[in-house]
Every structure is written in structure tokens, then in C-alpha cells.
């Protein structure tokens, strides 16, 4: 499979909607994005571009299209993370985690959850 298409900020919103539930019609997507206060036309543009980029596909259903993701959520996220890591830390993971723990205010619960996750991971690897 070729390289993933680059998905812009606004386009991500559309992808998120379809990762949540798919397939959906353009109208449903517009609906789901009501919070953004975008003109329906705008949302349609985003959808079209995503189709062109190959991030979405669609199936005809009567007179309207139902759109569905081609790029999976995991792929999308991975790509974003990679791009972030490359840009900021030249790809290194650990300093990123360090900086994050240091800078973001994590609640005790989050720290706990993370601790468990980490233990899990360490156990698995050993």
C-alpha cells in the first residue's frame, strides 16, 4: 500500500466522525459536525477532498452517497504521531514522553492508569 494521504486539520474532523460510525451520508456528517458551525458546503468540500485523496470512499445509496473511511483511525493517528515526533524530536519517542509528563498536568488517576499500562508493557516485554 502506498503512503497515506496527508489529512489536514479540518479534514480530520470529518474523518473522526466517520471513524465513530460509518458509513454516513454527507448530511449526517454535517449534522455530526454541527458544533463546528461550518456551512454544509464547507463540509461537503472537505468530504470531496478526502475522497480525492483516497482517505474516504463511498457507496451509492439511491440518490445520495454513503461515505466511509479508507484510512483507518489507527493509521491516521500513527501518521500524526510520527509526523509530530519527526518534527519536534527528530523521531525520538522517549524525550517526547518525558516532556509530556513534565508539562501536561496529569491527574492522579491518569498517572495510575498509565502506571498500570506501563507495567503491563514491561511484563510483556521481559
Partner DNA sequence: CCTCATGGTTTACGTCTGTAAAACCCAAGA
Partner DNA sequence: TCTTGGGTTTTACAGACGTAAACCATGAGG
The residues binding DNA (CB under 7 A) are: 6, 8-11, 25-27, 38-39, 41-42, 44-46, 48-49, 62-65
- Spatial contact of 114 and 106, defined as CB atoms under 8 Å apart: yes
Contacts 24+ apart (CB under 8 A), 47-53: 47/14, 49/11, 50/5, 50/7, 50/11, 50/14, 50/15, 53/5, 53/6, 53/7
Pick between residue 29 and residue 65 the one whose CB is nearest to a second copy: 29
Pick between residue 62 and residue 107 the one whose CB is nearest to a second copy: 107
Residue 21 interacts with, from a second copy, DNA, none (CB under 5-8 Å by kind): none
- Spatial contact of 64 and 26, defined as CB atoms under 8 Å apart: yes
For residue 96, give the 3-state DSSP assignment.
Answer: helix
Rounded Cα gap, residues 70 and 47, in angstroms:
13
Binding to a second copy, residues 16-75 (CB under 8 A): 74
Residue 88 interacts with, from a second copy, DNA, none (CB under 5-8 Å by kind): a second copy
Binding to a second copy, residues 80-119 (CB under 8 A): 80-81, 84, 87-88, 93-94, 96-101, 103-104, 106, 108, 110-115, 117-119
User: ∠ at Cα 71 (66, 76), nearest 5°?
Assistant: 130
> Rule CB under 8 A: which residues touch a second copy?
9, 12, 74, 76-78, 80-81, 84, 87-88, 93-94, 96-101, 103-104, 106, 108, 110-115, 117-119, 121-122, 125-126
Amino acid at each position: 500500500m502506498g503512503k497515506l494521504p496527508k489529512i489536514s486539520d479540518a479534514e480530520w474532523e470529518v474523518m473522526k466522525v466517520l471513524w465513530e460510525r460509518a458509513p454516513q451520508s454527507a448530511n449526517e456528517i454535517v449534522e455530526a459536525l454541527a458544533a463546528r458551525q461550518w456551512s454544509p458546503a464547507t463540509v461537503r468540500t472537505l468530504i470531496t477532498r478526502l475522497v480525492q485523496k483516497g482517505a474516504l470512499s463511498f457507496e451509492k445509496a439511491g440518490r445520495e452517497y454513503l461515505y466511509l473511511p479508507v484510512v483507518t483511525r489507527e493509521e491516521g493517528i500513527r501518521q500524526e504521531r510520527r509526523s509530530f515526533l519527526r518534527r519536534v524530536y527528530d523521531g525520538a519517542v522517549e524525550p517526547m514522553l518525558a516532556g509530556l509528563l513534565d508539562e501536561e498536568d496529569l491527574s492522579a488517576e491518569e498517572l495510575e492508569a498509565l502506571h498500570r499500562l506501563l507495567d503491563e508493557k514491561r511484563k510483556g516485554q521481559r
